[in-house]
Amino acid sequence: MRLVLLGAPGSGKGTQAAQIVSRLNIAHLSTGEMLRASVASKSAVGCGVDAIMQRGELVSDDIVVGIVAERLQRDDIKAGYILDGFPRTVAQAVALDQALADRGENLHAAVELKVVAHDLVHRIMARAAQAKANGENERADDNPETFTLRLQAYETQTAPLVDYYRSKNILKSVDGMQPAGAVAAAIRDAIGA
């Protein structure tokens, strides 16, 4: 099964992706995680994207499409995968469609997690507080100012993908404001697996 998970920052993409991959035994491809790993390793890509991510802006399509294309070469995606946080622009979605078509594959569903902005910022700040309480590093973009810019990037650049996938008849919209277990159950129903 090949899935795309769409949703604003803090909507629960990472939380739900983790549940789906362990249930379906498929790979979890999070572009945010891949980019943060590049930053942590101080690779050339990481050094180039660090400031962009800290500002809450989107990394360029070329870089992200390249990272995903490379990741799709690995063997662990053969049983399927969930793309968490990719695509995030129409150009990325078109590039993904092309990569899938080249492999004779398709997407089974694009799942949209719907959560209102007020709850999103609370979740992000709760995550930052929890990291601090655990003595862990907070994410550099988990603060109210950067969150506002991340949400703007979502609304202007990523939200159009809802219509993009609706027009392909693979959009499944799920109420992401329920407790995480109820969201997971709604996703199971929506994708039929």
For the question of residue 23 being annotated catalytic, the response is no
Catalytic residue among 55, 71, 139, 188: 139
Tell me how far, at minimum, the Cβ of 89 lies from ligand AP5, in Å.
7
Tell me how far, at minimum, the Cβ of 175 lies from ligand AP5, in Å.
9
CA 114 → CA 11, 107, 122, 140, 178, distances in Å? 7, 20, 15, 24, 10
For the question of residue 88 being annotated catalytic, the response is yes
Bridge partners (DSSP) of residue 6 are 112
Bridge partners (DSSP) of residue 28 are 82
Which of residues 104 and 135 has its CB atom nearest to ligand AP5 in the complex? 135
Task: Report d(CA 67, CA 64) in Å as an integer.
Answer: 5
DSSP structural state of residue 26: -
144: left (phi over 0), alpha (psi -120 to 50) or beta: alpha
Query: Token pair for residue 59?
Result: 């990394």
Which of residues 53 and 104 has its CB atom nearest to ligand AP5 in the complex? 53
For the question of residue 168 being annotated catalytic, the response is no
Tell me how far, at minimum, the Cβ of 54 lies from ligand AP5, in Å.
9
103: left (phi over 0), alpha (psi -120 to 50) or beta: alpha
Kindly list the residues in this chain that would bind ligand AP5 in the complex (CB under 6 A). Answer: 7, 9-15, 31-32, 35, 52-53, 56-59, 64, 85-86, 88, 92, 123, 126-127, 141, 150, 179-180, 183
For the question of residue 13 being annotated catalytic, the response is yes
Catalytic residue among 2, 36, 88, 123: 88
Catalytic residue among 2, 36, 123, 150: 150
For the question of residue 139 being annotated catalytic, the response is yes
Which of residues 21 and 53 has its CB atom nearest to ligand AP5 in the complex? 53
